[in-house]
Each structure stands twice: as C-alpha cells, then as structure tokens.
Amino acid sequence: MGCSQGIYAAAPPHVVGQIVWVKGVVEASNPAHPAKRVLQRRSAVYEKDTIVTSASGSAQIVFTDKSVVALRPATTFRIDQYQFNHGASHNAYQSSLIKGGFRTITGFISKSNPDHYHVRTPVATIGIRGTEFTIAYSHSKGLAASLVKGAIVIANEVGQVELNAAKDRVYAEISGLRKMPEVKHTPSSMLKGQPAITTVPANLPSPIPIGASSTVAPSSSPPTSTVSSSEGDTHITSTDTGSTTTTESSVSVEAPSSSSSPRSVTDFCIN
C-alpha cells in the first residue's frame, strides 16, 4: 500500500512555541524544511528554526516552558536545542544570537535545569541562572553585560567570569573571542537606551503548523494573551516603541501574586 508524500521527507521537528506578535517581515527556515516560511501571529516555531527579522521587522515568541523571546529588527536567531517536559530531568535550551538583538523572559527550563540553559553569541556563551540582566554586542566594541539580580557566567575559550549581585560584581566587558572577560565597576555605554518594560494582560491562541492555512490578520497593535502555568497565569505583551526604522519590541511579564520570585528578564543585543 502506498504512502502519501508529506511536507517532510523525514520526521518533522517538534513544535517548541509560537509567534504571538509580529510586525514587518519575519521569516524562518529549518533543516527539515529549508524553504523559507513567512511567520505571522500564531505561526508554530520549531526546534532548529533560524528566524530572521527584516530591518523593520520584529516578533515575539512564547515557548512551551512559558519563556518569551522578543526579537528586534535586523536579527538572526537560531533555536539550537529545545527539550521540555514537565517534571523531566533532561530539559534543555540552547539558542544562538547570530546578529541583532532580543529580550527574553526565562521560563521553567532555566528554573529547573539552569546548567542546561545557554545563549551563544559571537564572542562568548552566557550561562543563565534565573536572573535579570542585559547584554549588548557590537563588532567594534565587543560584548558588555550588566546584572540586576542573581548571577550569570560569561565564558569563552580564554576563561570565564561570574557576575553576582550579592557580591556587588554586576558589570563585565569582553572585547573579543580570544580576550578574557573583565569585571568592571561601571556600566558600558553600550548598555544605554534599553527598551522599557510594560505589562498588559493577554490571550494565547493555538499555534498554526507548517502547511496549514491561516486567516489570522496581522495586527498593528500588540495582542494580549494569558499563558497558564501551574504557578498561575503569566501576562505577556509586546509594545512598539518607535518608528518602523527604529522599532524595538519590549516585552513584559506580570508574575502571579502567589509566585515566590519574579520571572527573569534578559536583554540581548548584537549590532
């Protein structure tokens, strides 16, 4: 008996999240489905996806572990590894910021398995410990980091440094891949002008997989969505803060009143 030809010659990648807000042109490709996909609100996002925003494009992704990534214009972002099951010990997240920038709010993976949550940049790998911090990168100045609370580890092939708010070690810079990260006493000028955080309640629709038709119209204003979890509802929004040529997406989380600690917020930026 014959077998119908599907979109994938091999098993398709698994869905890891969905687009909840998009502006401008945002595209994705995947080794299992290399043709470019134009992403819109409710588009499914897959492990191994490379997502590219145009010069005036931006998007917000909600992952299944309740983490959020807001991509800025002119960004290339890849989901290298994503494994998540409630209660599992092998949960893992690894992404690469190839260029551009994003803000992220970490979810259950970073909380339950922080040793397996990493973000790669051209000059260093960031190990996240459920904290709030900002990093920025430019080819001429390198990487800069500012820690708000908790601890992070910045490492490359030369060495590593830990920033720890409890020890008043909150700033670091690294000028290149073969340069040692350095702890600083003052923040880099690269960290100025980060987008503001605002909170608006929201409703999360079901994702639309590859190949499915969609009649969802793009929205000129950020949608509202509620992401449910065992700890309560998490309210998420994305806010347009500039013109089409200078737009940056801000994203926010309103932690449930019963939560013992705030959700983590992280800024990443590569110019």
Q: What is the pLDDT along the chain (271 residues), one digit of tens a residue?
A: 444 344 445 566 789 999 999 999 999 999 998 799 999 999 999 999 999 999 999 999 999 998 888 887 888 899 999 999 887 888 999 999 888 777 777 788 988 888 898 989 898 998 887 667 777 777 777 887 878 777 889 999 999 999 998 888 888 888 888 899 999 999 887 766 554 333 333 455 566 766 665 444 444 454 444 333 333 333 444 343 333 233 333 334 343 333 444 455 555 555 5
Per-residue tokens: 24: 């401008």
Q: Residue 240: which residues within 8 A CB-CB, separation 6 or more?
A: 23, 58, 221, 222, 247, 249
pLDDT of residue 219: 46
Beta bridge partners of 171: 146, 184
Pairing status of strand 117-120 against strand 92-105: parallel
Does domain 15-270 sit in CATH 3.40.50.2000? no
For the full predicted model, state whether its pTM sits above 0.85: no
- For the chain, domain boundaries: 15-270
Beta bridge partners of 105: 68, 265
B/e letters for 196-208, b = 16+ CB within 10 Å, e = fewer, are ebeeeebebeebb
DSSP string, 207-220: -B-TT----PPP-S
Cα gap 145→268, rounded to integer Å: 9
Measure the N-to-C terminal CA separation of the chain; round to a whole number of Å. Answer: 54
Q: Max alpha carbon distance in the chain (Å)? A: 70
Look up residue 66 and give its DSSP letter: S
Q: Quickly count: other Cβ atoms within 10 Å of residue 173's Cβ.
A: 20
pLDDT of residue 270: 54
Per-residue tokens: 261: 């600690």
Q: Read off the amino acid at residue 191.
A: L
Per-residue tokens: 110: 């970073």
Which CA distances in Å does 271 have to 64, 133, 226, 262?
Answer: 29, 18, 32, 29
Cα gap 268→199, rounded to integer Å: 20
pLDDT of residue 211: 63
Cα gap 65→45, rounded to integer Å: 13
pLDDT of residue 257: 38
Give the CB-side neighbour count of residue 240, counting CA atoms within 13 A. 19
